């Protein structure tokens, strides 16, 4: 699933190019998770503003002549990707949404159709508002400090890995990045949240920021089919210290790395370096 780094990499790959573009048409393919929520013809003539990201969602604002302003909330689902170019190849069976503009076409490709494109008058209104309301803080938000993270985690009795994946305390720690951040911080993924000390919460936040920043720097992770809007794959998976490396030696202590299942997700860690 595209996580925060992949979504941010995608945003950066087309946001500047599409800014100021005028919508000339919409093409809808097979239904996605939710309906668009507006007559596509009502979007024609709209001008694209600054594309923003919140968690794993993108907000594409549209200023429409003589009409209510608003925007499109986009989600890549489990296996979706966005492409943007002046001349894309003909749409295929997995291309379910196209925004035709004066600067090119923005296309959502989603083989599993778990993605979404929906209209809202504002990011905090309607269905968009309900989807975004439960998200935790952004990992690079200056207001998110070790004390805040520690306080929130101390109220949970789940494992620290499960709390990171939940996304209602801090967004962005998808499965790969949660595994990597916990390894960098030396924390066992099975540790119960209410037993996490303040110093370890500080190390975890620092590690999470380092991991996510590096992932964005190298284009995210491509395990199967993720591509940015230029069609480029991510490279972070090649740098992973523990993820996908079960049985291989730990890069720190040479002990064999382990794989367990937590909440139906694979967890990779070093039982020697990462302490409960």
CA 92 to chain centre: 24
Q: Which of the residues 56, 107, 113, 137 is marked catalytic? A: 56
Query: Is 265 designated active site?
Result: yes
DSSP code string of 62-99:
EE-TTS--EEEEEE-TTT-EEEEESSPPPP-TTEEEEE
CB atoms within 10 A of CB 27: 14
Q: Which of the residues 2, 61, 123, 139 is marked catalytic? A: 2
Q: Are 11 and 227 in contact (CB under 8 A)?
A: no
Q: Which of the residues 12, 103, 156, 265 is marked catalytic? A: 265
Query: Is 56 designated active site?
Result: yes
DSSP 275: B
Q: Which of the residues 3, 6, 8, 180 is marked catalytic? A: 3
In the three-class reduction of DSSP (H, G, I as helix; E, B as strand; rest coil), residue 276 is classed as coil
Calculate helix-pair angle for 175-185, 198-217, nearest 10 degrees.
Answer: 130
Alpha-carbon torsion angle 229, 16, 237, 74, nearest 10: -60
Query: Is 217 designated active site?
Result: no
Q: What is the largest CA-CA distance in the chain?
A: 65
Q: Are 129 and 120 in contact (CB under 8 A)?
A: yes
Q: Are 234 and 219 in contact (CB under 8 A)?
A: yes
95, two tokens: 């291309």
Residue count (the chain): 276
Cβ neighbours of residue 13 closer than 8 Å, sequence gap 6 or more: 84, 228, 229, 230, 232
Query: Is 209 designated active site?
Result: no
Which residues form the catalytic set?
A: 2-3, 56, 265
């Amino acid at each position: 699933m595209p996580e925060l780094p992949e979504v941010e990499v995608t945003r950066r790959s087309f946001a500047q190019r599409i800014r100021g573009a005028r919508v000339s048409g919409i093409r809808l393919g097979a239904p996605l998770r939710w309906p668009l929520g507006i007559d596509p013809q009502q979007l024609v003539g709209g001008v694209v503003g600054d594309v923003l990201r919140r968690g794993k969602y993108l907000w594409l604002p549209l200023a429409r002549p003589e009409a209510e302003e608003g925007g499109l909330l986009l989600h890549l689902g489990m296996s979706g990707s966005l492409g943007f170019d002046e001349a894309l190849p003909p749409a295929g069976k997995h291309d379910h949404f196209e925004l035709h503009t004066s600067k090119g076409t923005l296309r959502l490709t989603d083989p599993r159709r778990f993605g979404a494109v929906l209209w809202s008058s504002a990011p905090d209104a309607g269905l968009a508002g309900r989807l975004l309301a439960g998200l935790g803080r952004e990992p690079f938000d200056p207001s998110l400090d070790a004390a805040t993270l520690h306080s929130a985690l101390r109220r949970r009795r789940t494992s620290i890995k499960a709390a990171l994946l939940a996304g209602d305390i801090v967004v962005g720690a998808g499965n790969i990045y949660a595994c990597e951040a916990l390894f960098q911080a030396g924390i066992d993924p099975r540790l119960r949240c209410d037993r996490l000390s303040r110093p370890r919460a500080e190390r975890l936040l620092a590690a999470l920021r380092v991991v996510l920043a590096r992932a964005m720097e190298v284009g995210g992770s491509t395990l199967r089919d993720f591509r940015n809007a230029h069609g480029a794959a991510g490279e972070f998976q090649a740098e992973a210290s523990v993820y996908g490396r079960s049985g291989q030696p730990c890069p720190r202590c040479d002990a064999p790395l382990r794989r367990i299942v937590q909440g139906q997700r694979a967890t990779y860690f070093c039982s020697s370096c990462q302490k409960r």
